[in-house]
Amino acid sequence: MGLFTSLFGGNKSNECQEDKQKKKNFEILKYDGIRARNMRQLPYAIKCFEEAIALNEETETMQLLATTYIQADRTEDARNILNRLCEKEPENVNALLSLANVCHMQQDYDSMASACEKAIQIAPENTTALYLAGKAEHSRHNDLQAIVMLTKAITQNETFTEAYLLRAEVLWSMRQAKDALEDIEKVLSLDANEEKALLIKGEIEAALGHTEQAFECFNQVAELNPFNENSYLLKGTLQIELKNFDQAIETYEEAIELMPDNAKLYQERGRARLLKGDKEGSMADLKKAIELNPENENQINGHFKNFEDTGKGILW
């Protein structure tokens, strides 16, 4: 009987056992990877997922590996896995959108737009694909096309906050204040505490000369999130433009107490001090800003030189 089995059934039996063991090993590796990822043990999670897809290039596991690579700041590895997945499953819209997001992180906006275009061809009404396409076009400075894509996304989903917010940014970059404010008000009607929307609204109100409304927006963001640096930077900038240098300095000092390692805050306080005539205090802030961010030494020095020479150089 043993000889008969070995001649006619042994190989199949062994193959079956090997397949079962391979499947078992894959499942163990996959779920060990998921547990490790949930515990933020990213190197071990990556190792598990890599070994798992070596056994079986399952879609979900490849997506998990790509996501974990991103969490570990290994965007090129994530992109390689997603490219493999898109080649394997060219109709996989989620994989294409994940690839688009990675391309955006790498500032490869042409490849991002290409991935979005493929996704839209497969799923023309996919709002995320339309939104990301708009984001890619804005990054490529094709703002009219960006508005077209974002408008299509909003038409499909009238509560798509991110699409309204991005369209407002694009419109404001084109200095279309009225239309940008309409989108911002829509965002705030959906989420009254949307920090970025409030900051953009404050910028627009300041540009229109509505300083009281602008300060209200910046103060609201600071109350919602005391660690939002832009609320202080924008508020201080407006105070400088109004020549309220003492108030601007107070604004930056308040922010520095909360964020003592923020180079931008020292840089901006230094500008306010320079305009007030406090060169010694300005230079102390310049030195501190460079200590905190030595990579931007030339940029910081340049901004201060512009301020000293022309009285200009205010951001935003």
Whether pLDDT at 255 is above 80? yes
Say what the pTM is: 0.84
Tell which phi-psi region holds residue 209, choosing left (phi > 0), alpha (psi between -120 and 50) or beta. Answer: left
Per-residue pLDDT tens over the stretch 175-221: 999 999 999 999 999 999 999 999 999 999 999 999 999 999 999 99
Whether pLDDT at 91 is above 90? yes
What is the CATH number assigned to the segment(s) 238-316?
1.25.40.10
Q: What is the mean pLDDT of the chain?
A: 91
Average pLDDT over residues 5-9: 48
Domain ranges of the chain: 238-316
Percent of the chain with pLDDT over 90: 85
